[in-house]
Homo-oligomer: A and B are copies of this chain.
């Protein structure tokens, strides 16, 4: 099994990787990301799994029992898209481990009493169309096809046009496969250092913090950077700069997270006072109320500063995902498969598992240790020994669920 596992990583290693940064650029419906899906299809066919494309850009492989018992299926999987300049494990670890876990079950002679599916969800990161978990949201119906059809990438390309250009036959909307799924189990590299600090290679997730994305449109007046006296300016860059510092301070005070990582400036010229700055806030906190309080505090400081700068602020809530609690009986059952039981930890990262859980599908998550906690970065890392322990743990859980 280790050889097959390493061969799968070697296959994926060069796909969409930048020689300059060593990071991955696997934005959805680009050639790099579609090459990852094509590789997945090849892996499914090699294992005799039935391949399904669901019209939302998601790809699934099904191991179906010889005799259909009519029992609901067990679904596992993750995603193969990356953030811009991302790491190797965020997403692919869950897909590669799912395929490897099927190999383990077959080596063990397991004859599943129900179907096992492996899902590869599209645009989990929201790195191209701005809406995270787009593929799973469309599949379960949380996002409507109408809303998805309005999404545009930073170059103005519509989702449907991007899908067609990538050779995907679009059929946006709730996916038929959802109805046959009895539970979902996603394995993911941890994106913090909780397991590392506990000295544990594998754990389970208790809950996902609520998470929102907010667009701040600051507008002022474009002007000459040399001739316009400082008091005569209405510079939205200053309002933005103050807001970015305020977000950091408020998140520190609240034990929460607030990040301005994306910005778009117009006209973005060295010798012009900008006319507008658009910036996106990513905010997360332990409860829905704490998140609302955090964002309100940041907005208040932004508005105060806009008043002083003579600029305007329009705030748009792009998405808010409420807190997600994973299925407690399922998580307890899986945590208790080992002695001592596996640790159960919360996370502030969103996942397709959160979307499926919120849609009422009993869901659990497995995390594999990340020694530095770094993710969404080329420096993201997980040790091969831990990854193999993750595969064994996933195989154990699947065996338990199909028995």
Among A126, A265, A267, the most chain B Cβ lie within 10 Å of the Cβ of: A267
Q: Given A85-B275, A261-B225, A268-B262, verify A252-B238 contact (CB < 8 Å).
A: no
Q: What is the distance, in angstroms, from A151's C-beta to the closest C-beta of chain B?
A: 14
Contact B191 A226 (CB under 8 A): yes
Please give the distance in Å from A74's CB to the nearest CB on chain B.
Answer: 27
A261-285 vs B, Cβ < 8 Å mask (1 yes, 0 no): 1110111111111110000101010
In the complex, the answer to whether A248 meets B235 with C-beta atoms within 8 Å is yes
Pairwise interchain contact A273-B261, C-beta atoms closer than 8 A: yes
CB-contacts of A283-321 with B (<8 A): 284
Q: Contact: A272 with B224, CB < 8 Å? A: no
A229's partner among B192, B242, B268, B378 (CB-CB below 8 A) is B192
Number of A residues near B (Cβ < 8 Å) is 70
Q: Which of B232, B238, B259, B267 makes the CB contact (< 8 A) with A84?
A: B267
Roughly how many angstroms separate A104 CA and B130 CA in the complex, as a whole number?
Answer: 58
Most chain B CB within a 10 A radius of its CB, from A225, A349, A378: A225
CA distance A224 to B86 in the complex (A): 10
Chain B residues near A235 (CB-CB < 8 A)? 248, 259
Q: Which residue on B lies nearest to A253, using beta carbons?
A: B230
* A221-B280 in contact (CB<8A): no
Residues of B within 8 A of A209 (CB): 226
Q: Which of B192, B227, B245, B373 contacts A347 (CB 8 A)?
A: B227
Q: Verify A222–B192 contact, CB threshold 8 A.
A: no
A348 close to B (CB within 8 Å): yes
Most chain B CB within 10 A, of A231, A251, A261, A265, is at A261
B126 and A270 contact, CB distance less than 8 A: yes
Q: Which residue of B lies closest to A309 (CB)?
A: B248
Task: State whether B374 touches A223 (Cβ < 8 A).
Answer: yes
> For the complex, is A391 an interface residue (Cβ under 8 Å from B)?
no
- With A226-B348, A379-B221 in contact, is A265–B261 under 8 Å at CB? yes
Interface positions, chain A 317-360, Cβ under 8 Å from B, are 347-350
Measured CB to CB, the nearest residue on chain B to A90 is B224
A260 interface residue, CB < 8 Å from B?
yes
- Identity of the chain B residue whose Cβ is nearest the Cβ of A350 in the assembled complex: B226
> In the complex, what distance in Å separates the CA atom of A284 from the CA atom of B224?
12
A84, A130, A237, A245 pick with most chain B CB within 10 angstroms: A237
Q: How does the 8 Å CB contact mask read for A117-149 relative to B, with 1 for contact and 0 for none?
A: 000000001110010100000000000000000
A65 to chain B: closest CB distance in Å?
Answer: 38
Residues of chain B contacted by A152 (CB below 8 angstroms): none
Which one of B84, B224, B282 lies within 8 Å of A226 (CB-CB)? B282
- 16 other contacts beyond A231-B252, A235-B259, with CB at 8 A cut-off? A23-B222, A83-B267, A85-B222, A86-B267, A127-B269, A127-B271, A191-B224, A191-B226, A221-B379, A223-B375, A226-B282, A232-B373, A237-B263, A261-B268, A262-B265, A269-B376
21 contacts between A and B (CB under 8 A): A83-B267, A83-B269, A84-B266, A190-B227, A191-B224, A191-B226, A192-B229, A213-B271, A223-B377, A224-B349, A225-B282, A228-B373, A232-B373, A235-B259, A241-B244, A259-B273, A262-B269, A263-B263, A263-B268, A272-B376, A275-B377
List of 4 A-B pairs having minimum Cβ-Cβ separation, nearest first: A222-B377, A84-B267, A191-B227, A225-B259
